[in-house]
Each structure stands twice: as C-alpha cells, then as structure tokens.
Amino acid sequence: MVHFFAVCLLSWYMIVCTYEPPEAILPCTAVLEELVAQLGDDIALYFENMETGFSFGHNADRRYFGASVSKAFFALYLFLRVEREGIDLEETLVYTREDFLGGAGLIVRRYPVGTVFSKGELIRLMLSYSDNIATLILRRHFGLEGYRRFVADLGINPAYVGGNVFNSRITAAETGIFAREIYAYIASGGRYAAKLKAALLDNQYPFTVSDYPKASKTGWTRPRAWHCMAVIFAPSPYVLVILGERGGWTNRDFREYAEISMAFQHFNDTWFHSKSEVTHGSVCARRSCVPVIPWLMHPF
C-alpha cells in the first residue's frame, strides 16, 4: 500500500514538475473584430491596456493628416524639456504677426497681436482649446529640431513631422506610442504631469466618451481629418486612438465614435478590470470565445 501511494505521489510530482503553462491567455477580440468589420474603411483604431501591454489595431499603420492631435505630442515634448532644462513656465512670450493663423483656438478671436502669454498658458491653450496661434508661438520659440529628435527616439520617422506641428502625418499605432508616453509621464508624477493631465482632461472638443476620467486631444480638418487620442483612467488604464478621414461634426460621426469608445471601454472592463490580471472565463479561439475552467488556466 505504501508503495502504491509512493508511485501515485511520484506520478503526481512528475506531472506537476513537467507541466508547461500555455502561452499567455489572450482576451477574446471577436466583439472588436465584429465592430471594425462594420466600420467604414476610412477609420483606423489603436487600443492598448497600460498595465498588460495588450493591444488591438485596425488599419493602425495607415497614415493620415494629423491635424491637431499632434499638438499633444508636442506638448509632451515641451513639458519634458522644460522639466529637464529647468525652464520657467511663467516666462512670457509675445504674440507677433508671424504667429497669426486662423482656425481653432481662443487667441485668434479674443487677443490682438502684441498680447503677452506665459509659456505655461500657451501650452494649456494649445491642448484644451487646440489653439493654432499658441502652437505657432511655442514652435517659433522652442523650434522643431529637438522635437524631431524626440520623435525619432520613440522609433517614429521624424520626416513626417510638419513645420506647423499640426500638419504632421500620423498613424494610429504611432499615436498610440505617444499616448503611452503621455500616460507614463502622468503616472510618473513628473513636475508638470498634473498640468499635462489637467489640460487634456479639459479638452473642449471631445469626440469620444467614457465613464472614466478621459485625458484626450482631438483634431479635425475638413474633409480629411476627424481624430481623437485618449488616455482613459479606468481601474486598469488604457489608451484609445481613433483616426478618421472624414469631415466630421455630424450626428453620425459623434454616434459612431461614441459606440467605438464604449465598445473598447466594455472590452477593457471585461478583461482588465483588476490590476495586471486578465479576466478568467474565456480565451480567444479564432473568432469565437471558448469557455474554460479558471483553474485549468494556471499551473498548480
């Protein structure tokens, strides 16, 4: 009898010690695949969960006219540079005729040439109000050489950086890289992290929706750009990028982007509702979800 139990114990030990856990269990993306199949071909998407690195893309490498989404990339660079070099954001810059441009923002409608703004206020206007003139004042003062090096260091081709910043060309995947860096800086508690987060939370032209705090930057240029980049501070944070080659501003546009936003929120809540854990219960098998027993998903 003792010998029998010893054999059983040895057999169990061999099974346990030779057990190789399966590759990482991936969330079931069938619902997302069904969603993108219904979208027009003018839309590109990128989603990434910040705790696990899981990502999902659709037309993610297609290049679009960037419009004002690119202002968020420039703002991140400026905050990092200001912090590194000890630049005072209270220092002022003068609005000159060279900086004038119509379009988005408050300055063109409210302030005459010659008005003085602090650097910090210009960054806030560039982000929250998508101010073109604020962007051009900052570009004139700081230049673009350092920004292009920053872009290159992230593994993105700096040749696509436009001379006005907001005339750059971008992809959803590249925008996702910037969104990840924005989240990382905010999460780091850097000196100006709170300012960056506050300005993006105060986006005056949101195209997406969420039940959670949403730090976002939008961009539009008729008829070829209707974009949004968002960092969603859910219990398990994620980034969502939607780029669309369309005129925008219609009820259909807002409805579709809201539906996309909530679909990804539900997906993230379902699979990443607790920190660094994938929700148990199903794994993705091609285009269908297959139920599994939770304890079978882990080694003993």
- Measured in residues, the chain has a length of 300
Residue 43 has pLDDT above 90, yes or no: yes
If one compares 274 and 189, the residue with the highest pLDDT of the two is: 189
Bridge partners (DSSP) of residue 169 are: 65
In this structure, what DSSP letter does residue 187 have? H
Q: What is the pLDDT of residue 237?
A: 97
- Give phi and psi for 148, each to the nearest 5: -65, -40
CATH 3.40.710.10 matches 25-87+151-297: yes
Question: What is the residue-averaged pLDDT of the chain?
Answer: 86
Judge contact between 39 and 242, C-beta under 8 A: no
pTM: 0.84
Burial annotation 161-192 (CB, 10 A radius, 16+ → b, else e): beeebbebebbbbbbbbbbbbbbebbeeebeb
Residue 90 has pLDDT above 50, yes or no: yes
Judge contact between 117 and 135, C-beta under 8 A: no
77-103 mean pLDDT: 96
Work out whether the CA dihedral 125, 126, 130, 131 comes out positive or negative. Answer: positive
pLDDT, tens digit (0-9, with 9 covering 90-100), for 238-262: 999 999 999 999 999 999 999 999 9
Residue spans of the domains in the chain: they are 25-87+151-297
Residue 154 has pLDDT above 90, yes or no: yes
Q: Which two tokens stand for residue 4?
A: 């029998």
pLDDT, tens digit (0-9, with 9 covering 90-100), for 176-186: 999 999 999 99
29-50 mean pLDDT: 92
Most trustworthy range by pLDDT among 21-25, 167-171, 275-279: 167-171
Most trustworthy range by pLDDT among 9-13, 27-31, 136-140: 136-140
Banded model confidence at residue 40, pLDDT cuts 50, 70, 90: confident
Q: What is the pLDDT of residue 26?
A: 77
pLDDT, tens digit (0-9, with 9 covering 90-100), for 216-229: 999 999 888 999 99
207: nearest Cα among 220, 222, 218? 218
82-93 mean pLDDT: 97
166-176 mean pLDDT: 96
- Give phi and psi for 49, each to the nearest 5: -80, 130
Q: What beta strand segments (E) does 137-281 contain?
A: 169-170, 214-221, 225-232, 238-244
Q: What is the pLDDT of residue 141?
A: 97
Q: What is the pLDDT of residue 124?
A: 98
pLDDT, tens digit (0-9, with 9 covering 90-100), for 272-284: 975 544 443 334 4
Residue 161 has pLDDT above 80, yes or no: yes
Banded model confidence at residue 290, pLDDT cuts 50, 70, 90: very low
If one compares 7 and 233, the residue with the highest pLDDT of the two is: 233
Q: What is the pLDDT of residue 281?
A: 37
Residue 36 has pLDDT above 60, yes or no: yes
pLDDT, tens digit (0-9, with 9 covering 90-100), for 112-149: 999 999 999 999 999 999 999 999 999 999 999 999 99
Q: Which two tokens stand for residue 162?
A: 């436009």
Residue 267 has pLDDT above 60, yes or no: yes
